Amino acid sequence: MNEITHRLPTSGNKQPLRKQWKVAVSRFGHTTQKLNNRIVEGNFREILAKAKKLLSQHPQTVFERDQREDSSHSTYTMHSFLSPSFYLNLDCCPDFNYCIKYAFCNCPYEGELRKLLNCYLLQGKAKEVELKPTFQAFYNDVPSFQHKKYVFVLGGK
């Protein structure tokens, strides 16, 4: 059984899925890919910190979840952040490369955040996505299926 087939869920497989990023870091060799992934993850965290600092200027309810060790959710998702105006997600893709997905919805800091993301766009490490059915509907739906400990007010006193 090859590496990809072994990780795919089947109807009879009751075991938790193995996280893609764990496979990526445990693969023999692939030194350049591992280094690139560390850089992308570090820069994702910098972008996230900057976004949270900017967005916290106006109190708002956000969702944030570090999913690296959570086997109950996506095999690929590592970290997710969602505010009423900005979405940021870090994935380990099927090819074992880390990538950043993002979206905006009338974000007052879109220009500043796009500047941070631009270098990744050029390298193919970031992709703007459209949240379905709409950004606002996606944002409103998240609390209905995520644990409340991941939904909190950012900013304020």
In a domain, 4, yes or no: no
User: Bigger pLDDT: 8 or 86?
Assistant: 86
The encoded tokens of residue 142 equal 């998240």
In a domain, 126, yes or no: yes
Q: Are strands 98-104 and 77-82 parallel, antiparallel or unpaired?
A: unpaired
What residues make up the domain containing 64?
19-144
- At residue 102, the pLDDT reads 96
When divided into structural domains, the chain yields a total of 1
Q: Are strands 126-128 and 98-104 parallel, antiparallel or unpaired?
A: parallel
pTM, two decimal places: 0.82
In a domain, 149, yes or no: no
Q: Is the pLDDT of residue 12 over 60?
A: no
Tokens 């009423």 map to which residue?
84
Q: What is the rounded CA–CA span in Å between residue 155 and residue 149?
A: 16
User: Bigger pLDDT: 10 or 71?
Assistant: 71
Q: Among 100, 96, 99, 125, which residue's Cα sits nearest to residue 4?
A: 96
pLDDT cut 90: percent of the chain above it: 45
Cα Dmax for the chain: 54
